[in-house]
């Protein structure tokens, strides 16, 4: 497989690019995407067999099951990052080894627990994000892996992208029917 083909499989909706100016409409769309994500995942996965849940979205990529569990774990970290930024002065967040987490035993189990987490986290996150003031949106956290700070406003976009990115992975895995 050519590197460009692999890159398209890895990033089916492209990589996230925060706009220079984030409009209220853009922020609203992002929050709506975040709120709708759990139901979108549930709709796509609700009738899948264990074989289908084991489909990969690209060579050496995660299975659908791993993607769903990853989203639950990632978005738990997301709400913590938002809350740290709202309650501390430019905190340094703690990164984690996503690939190592994806190899843990809980990722082998039914996705219902992960879907339950996503529903709860996204409901709470939607409430939190819809009630951020303009001042709150400018608050920042430092991500040590990137060596820079991120505003809460752009982080809303990052997690909307992350949701859509992994939803595209699930759909991609189903499209290719486990060829990888």
- pLDDT at 3 exceeding the cut of 80: no
Contact 9, 58 (CB under 8 A): yes
Task: Give the closest residue to 74 by CA, choosing from 121, 128, 144.
Answer: 121
- The helix (H) or strand (E) run that includes residue 161 is helix 152-176
141 sits in which H/E element: strand 140-143
pLDDT in tens, 116-131: 999 999 999 999 999 9
Note the pTM of the prediction, 2 decimals: 0.96
Condensed to tens digits (0 to 9), the pLDDT of residues 6-36 reads 999 999 999 999 999 999 999 999 999 999 9
Average pLDDT over residues 33-41: 98
pLDDT-based confidence at residue 180 (cuts at 50, 70, 90): confident
CB atoms within 10 A of CB 23: 9
Q: For residue 173, give the nearest of 60, 14, 40, 4 by alpha carbon.
A: 60
Q: Please give the domain boundaries of the chain with CATH numbers for all domains.
A: 31-41+53-176 (1.20.120.450)
Phi-psi region of 95 (alpha: psi -120 to 50; beta: other; left: phi over 0): beta
């Amino acid at each position: 497989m050519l590197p460009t083909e692999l890159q398209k499989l890895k990033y089916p909706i492209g990589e996230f690019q925060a706009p220079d100016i984030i409009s209220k409409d853009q922020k609203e769309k992002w929050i709506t995407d975040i709120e709708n994500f759990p139901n979108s995942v549930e709709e796509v996965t609700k009738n899948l067999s264990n074989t289908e849940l084991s489909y990969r979205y690209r060579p050496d990529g995660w299975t659908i099951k791993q993607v769903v569990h990853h989203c639950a774990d990632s978005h738990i970290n997301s709400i913590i990052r938002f809350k740290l930024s709202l309650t501390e002065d430019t905190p340094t967040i703690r990164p984690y080894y996503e690939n190592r987490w994806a190899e843990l035993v809980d990722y082998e189990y039914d996705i219902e627990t992960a879907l339950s987490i996503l529903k709860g986290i996204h409901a709470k996150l939607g409430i939190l994000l819809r009630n951020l003031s303009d001042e709150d949106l400018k608050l920042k956290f430092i991500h040590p892996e990137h060596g820079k700070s991120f505003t809460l406003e752009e982080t809303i976009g990052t997690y909307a992208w992350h949701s859509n990115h992994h939803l595209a992975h699930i759909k991609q895995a189903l499209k290719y029917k486990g060829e990888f």
